[in-house]
């Protein structure tokens, strides 16, 4: 079977950052592979190693810059990548439907049996693209999967969904399906030197909307970010000052008052 993995490069802000307009200043952002997607890549590569997946293809919506992140996925064992970008994505904030329209077109080209992606993106935190995509393309789905056992012959994925409060739901999902992957599903590997070398030769197909038979109208977003600000701290904590030794002495006093260490 063929596995398609949705991979996002996410932006992360350091401890100090400035807000310019409706986003964090580009110079204060660092880019990395979305943590949740790392687990999805690992799950797909493990399916390939187990002889269940014949091919693992990643798909990313992102500018040329993201190829460094995509190479990481290839170095970890994905076979090839599709990168979609277009001027239409440059301005504004893509909503879920815009991403789904893009992925739908890629799914038509690739015809996967299983689509894996992270539960959410670390930067925007919508947590919605996978399930919306499943609805659009008529696949089954399961969100927030933290255990996966694929029975390819039966065409069923036995999954656990991680609910709140230490409870997991056991669900059988018919293929083809979209599964959104929670952290902790597996142990994502580090790319080996050999993997990194091999990744240089793997294909990243750069694609724009017209290549996919889409136009800018198809990815028009219904959402606009109108402001961004740092939330006001509600802290009324007593901040303990001084060097580490002084702070520890004061904290020890506080803790002893609360009966700790007695």
**Span 108-147, contacts to another protein by CB under 8 A:** 119, 122-132, 134-136, 140-144
- Does 224 contact another protein by CB under 8 A? yes
Going from the C-alpha of 234 to that of each of 88, 199, 230, 231, 237, the distances in angstroms are: 39, 47, 12, 9, 9
d(CA 125, CA 68) in angstroms, rounded, equals: 22
In whole angstroms, the minimum distance from the beta carbon of 207 to another protein comes to 23
Q: Is 183 helix (H, G, I), strand (E, B) or coil?
A: coil
- Does 217 contact another protein by CB under 8 A? no
Q: Which is nearer to another protein, 194 or 257 (CB)?
A: 257
- Does 154 contact another protein by CB under 8 A? no
Tokens of 77: 């064992």
d(CA 247, CA 249) in angstroms, rounded, equals: 5
The DSSP H or E segment spanning 61 is: strand 55-61
Q: Which is nearer to another protein, 216 or 251 (CB)?
A: 251
Tokens of 156: 């069923």
Backbone angles phi, psi at 31, to 5 degrees: -110, 140
- Does 193 contact another protein by CB under 8 A? no
Q: Which is nearer to another protein, 136 or 202 (CB)?
A: 136
d(CA 83, CA 62) in angstroms, rounded, equals: 7
In whole angstroms, the minimum distance from the beta carbon of 61 to another protein comes to 17
- Does 260 contact another protein by CB under 8 A? yes
Q: Residues 1, 13, 196, 205: which binds another protein (CB under 8 A)?
A: 13
- Does 252 contact another protein by CB under 8 A? yes
- Does 26 contact another protein by CB under 8 A? no
In whole angstroms, the minimum distance from the beta carbon of 245 to another protein comes to 5
Q: How many residues bind another protein (CB under 8 A)?
A: 84
With beta carbons less than 8 A apart as the criterion, state whether 46 and 10 touch.
no
Q: Which is nearer to another protein, 87 or 230 (CB)?
A: 230
Taking alpha carbons only, the member of 136, 137, 148 closest to residue 180 is 148
Q: Is 98 helix (H, G, I), strand (E, B) or coil?
A: helix
Which span sits near another protein by CB under 8 A: 40-48, 51-59, 88-96, 199-207?
A: 88-96
Scan residues 27-46 and list those touching another protein (CB under 8 A): none
With beta carbons less than 8 A apart as the criterion, state whether 126 and 88 touch.
no
Q: Residues 25, 50, 163, 216: which binds another protein (CB under 8 A)?
A: 163
């Amino acid at each position: 079977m063929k596995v398609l993995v949705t991979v996002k490069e996410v932006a992360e802000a350091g401890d100090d950052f400035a807000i310019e307009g409706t986003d964090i200043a580009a110079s204060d952002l660092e880019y990395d592979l979305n943590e949740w997607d790392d687990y999805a890549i690992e799950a797909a590569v493990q399916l390939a190693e187990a002889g269940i997946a014949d091919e693992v293809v990643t798909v990313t919506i992102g500018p040329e810059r993201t190829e460094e992140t995509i190479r990481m996925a290839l170095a970890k064992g994905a076979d090839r990548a599709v990168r979609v970008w277009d001027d239409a994505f440059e301005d504004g904030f893509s909503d879920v439907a815009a991403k789904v329209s893009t992925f739908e077109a890629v799914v038509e080209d690739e015809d996967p049996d299983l689509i894996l992606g992270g539960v959410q993106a670390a930067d925007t935190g919508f947590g919605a693209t996978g399930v919306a995509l499943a609805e659009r393309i008529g696949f089954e789905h399961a969100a927030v999967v933290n255990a996966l056992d694929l029975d390819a012959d039966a065409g069923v994925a036995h999954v656990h969904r991680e609910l709140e409060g230490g409870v997991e739901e056991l669900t059988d999902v018919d293929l083809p399906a979209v599964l959104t992957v929670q952290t902790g599903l597996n142990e994502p590997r580090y790319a080996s030197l050999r993997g990194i070398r091999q990744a240089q030769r793997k294909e990243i197909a750069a694609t724009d909307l017209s290549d996919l038979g889409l136009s800018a109208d198809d990815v028009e977003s219904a959402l606009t970010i109108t402001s961004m600000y740092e939330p006001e701290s509600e802290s009324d904590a007593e901040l303990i000052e001084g060097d580490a030794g002084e702070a520890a002495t004061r904290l020890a006093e506080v803790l002893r008052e609360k009966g700790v260490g007695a």
